[in-house]
Structure 1
Amino acid sequence: MHVPDGFINAPVSVAAGVAAAAAVAVSLRGARRELDERTAPLAGLVAAFIFAVQMLNFPVAAGTSGHLLGGALAAILVGPFTGVLCVSVVLLMQGLLFADGGLSALGVNITVMGVVTVVIAYALFRGLLAVLPPTRRSVTGAAFVAALVSVPASAAAFTALFAVGGTTDVALGKVFTAMVGVHTLIGIGEGLITAATVGAVIAVRPDLVHGARELTTPLKLRVDGQLVDAPATGAAPAAAPATRSTKKVWAVGLGAALVLAGFVSYYASASPDGLEKVAADQGFDAKAEDHAAADSPLADYGVKDVDDARLSGGLAGIIGVGATVAVGTGVFWTVRRRRAAELTATSTAPPAG
């Protein structure tokens, strides 16, 4: 659902940019409470994984495809504030490097694909967990529903912006019906991908799933000054979750992202995605403007001057995953370190009076 330049007029694009900037600023502060030494690098990995899976368009109807938006997945895995930042990093990299999503429409895309999906999905996810039994199956089921609903909600948000600032005079009722209809189908795919990913992580490391941390509250014991999970009868004390390494999870996740972007993406559907299809059917696709980064060596997810389509696309995907994980991890480590510095300054400050 990457909105190109030209679909939304300048005043509304600017307003959306201001809203997106405010949301990112709030998320930067909120993410300080969500990120720790384990989750900061994993948040960068989540951004890279979303980038990779977004390359895998899947067919949803005759001549139409869809792809993961990722807001629900990011919010459930690393928290809602960090989730907004994850999707924003992905959209920024796509716009700058791959000419995907207009640069003047970046605020629109962050608002529609990042903020709306995260807010709707996480609110629904937490609401469902409040009434469902506290089990892993409930977490994956709630993730599926939340992700599914977040996609047509995002489509409705785009339609609202188009109603205010659309550059083409079209029947808004038809745009709304078409956008929500096709993105509900895409939402089913989003739900399946989100539930499968959350389920896979929660099966091996439930402590790394932000949305599942309250699933169980094990008895804690203090060992050598640290709180650890109480062992089962006759078992040796296990390492505290905070001390467990995340290297294996990180390596497996990065490997999966590289395989998806570098190899599986070649088999993605070539059909236009939901927004492109609706724009063509409703007659406002001609308003799309040439991308400012159209001459990028990675534009359209291919490496310039590499003639083999499979190799070109695969290399572009691998470069994109690497760039996204590097930028994302840098951002999240910076946020984490700033939080740590604030806590240190607070703890070492002399008492008042």
Structure 2
Amino acid sequence: MSRHVAMHMSDGIVNAPTSLLFGAVAILFVGWAAVRARADLDDRTAPMAGLVTAFVFAVQMINFPILPGASGHLLGGALVAILVGPWVGTLCITIVLVVQSLLFADGGLTALGTNVVNMAVIGVFAGWGVAVALRRFAVRSRGGLLATAFVAAFAGTVLASLGFVAQYALGGAAGATTGTVFALMVGLHALIGIGEGVITAVTVGAVAAVRPDLVHLLRTAPRPAAVTQPAGRGDGSGA
């Protein structure tokens, strides 16, 4: 594993059958996301998706210290899900991972499928699921939105690291025990999740303060049901 303990899996961490399996899963899921994302993209949201992709790409290049000799970076799963929705968010993170792998050797080519599953699928949809579960708090106040973004990002980061551990348990080839990988990945990504939560909350809060209509989590919140009055009531004519 890389010395900065990032989520990006490099070549040789898992064996070839495991890489092929998750490569196929990634292709199927990203293809499905591309179909579903069409409903969420329009003249207003498409530019936002582009900006979010560029932002995640930029901040993933910046590592922040966690412990001596260990650092991490933003995964961005909950952030993109809250801002542009899970389907578009999956495509955004996938684009980032492909570019990083091809141009910057950040994550191995044979491990691209495992990385997409962990960060673009598990990270995005885990963060989205938590955000939706807490959406009733997010729509009430700015503080509720910030807390929701923080918790969603923290949970998405930790669950994405569990995806890494599961893949290693299935076909690990790096020589470390699964228990060691679990302790390292989950323990450190719990700390990374705190930084992820802060960055996500600040970013979502900044967008919501200016253009709340561009925050997918708020825009798609269920509207309160209309209250209907019994017949003969509310028109001032009496019973």
TM-score (norm 1): 0.60
Answer whether contact 2:135 2:217 (CA < 8 A) is retained: no
Amino acid at match of 2:52: V
* Aligned 8 A contact 2:149 2:201 in 1: yes
Task: Find the aligned partners of 1:132 and 1:38 in 2 and give their Cα distance.
Answer: 22
Query: Does 1 or 2 have the higher relative contact order (CA < 8 Å, sep 6+)?
Result: 1
For 1:96, the equivalent position in structure 2 comes to 102
Corresponding residue to 1:42 among 30, 38, 48:
48
Structure 1 position 209 matched with structure 2 position 202: no
Q: Shift of the alpha carbon at 1:133?
A: 6.0
Contact 2:146 2:204 survives alignment (8 Å) = yes
| Structure 1: distance between partners of 2:21 and 2:221 | 39
Q: Which runs of 4+ in 1 moved over 2 A?
A: 130-137, 168-171, 214-218
Does the Cα contact within 8 Å between 1:80 and 1:119 map onto a contact in 2? yes
1:108-151 CA-partner distances (Å, limit 9, x unpaired): 11001110001110001100114666223212211100001111
Once the 2 structures are TM-superposed, how far is the Cα of residue 44 of structure 1 from its aligned partner?
A: 1.2
Asked if the contact 1:58–1:67 (Cα under 8 Å) also holds between the matched residues in 2, the reply is yes
Distance (whole Å) between structure 2 residues aligned to residue 196 and residue 92 of structure 1: 26
Q: Which is higher, the Rg of structure 1 or of structure 2?
A: 1
- For 1:14-163, what aligned pairs fall within 5 Å after superposition? 14-130=20-136, 134-163=140-169
Residue 184 of structure 2 is matched in structure 1 by: 178
**What secondary structure does 1:60 align onto?**
strand
- What is the deviation of 1:216? 9.1
Q: For the residues of structure 1 that align with 2:100 and 2:177, how far apart are their CA atoms?
A: 30
Q: Which runs of 5+ in 1 are unaligned?
A: 219-353
Structure 1 contact 91–106 (Cα < 8 Å) conserved? yes
Counterpart of 1:27 in structure 2: which amino acid?
A
| CA distance in structure 1 between the partners assigned to 2:138 and 2:56 by the alignment | 27
| In 2, Cα distance between equivalents of 1:68 and 1:119 | 16
Change (3 A) 1:137 1:215: farther
Q: Are the counterparts in 1 of residues 137 and 145 from structure 2 also a CA contact under 8 Å?
A: no
Partner-residue secondary structure (3-state), 1:121:
helix
Pairing partner for 1:187 from 189, 193, 206: 193
1:7 paired residue number: 13
1:170: Cα distance to partner?
Answer: 2.9
Q: Please list every run of 5 or more consecutive structure 2 residues that lacks an aligned counterpart in the other structure.
A: 1-6, 225-239
CA deviation profile, 1:59-85 (whole Å, cap 9, x unmatched): 011111010001110010000000000
CA offset digits 1:133-174 (Å, max 9, x no partner): 622321221110000111111111101000111113432122
C-alpha change, 1:216 and 1:175, in structure 2 (3 Å) is closer
SS of residue paired to 2:49: helix
Residue 93 of structure 2 aligns with an amino acid whose one-letter code is V
Asked whether the 8 Å contact 1:121–1:146 carries over to 2, the reply is yes
Kept in 2: contact 1:6–1:167 (CA 8 A): yes
Distance 2:165 2:220 in 1: 36
Tell me the SS of whatever aligns to 1:65. Answer: strand
Output the amino acid matched with 1:54. Q
2:231 corresponding residue in structure 1: none
Task: Give secondary structure in 1 for the equivalent of 2:11.
Answer: coil
Length, aligned pairs only: 218
The AA in structure 2 aligned to 1:153 is L
What CA RMSD, in Å, does the superposition of the two structures yield over aligned residues? Answer: 1.6
The residue identity in structure 1 corresponding to 2:176 is V
SS of 2:42's partner is coil
SS in 2 for 1:167: coil
Report percent identity of matched pairs.
52
1:196 aligned residue (181, 202, 215): 202
Q: TM-score, normalised by structure 2?
A: 0.87
Distance change (3 Å), C-alpha of 1:114 and 1:214: closer
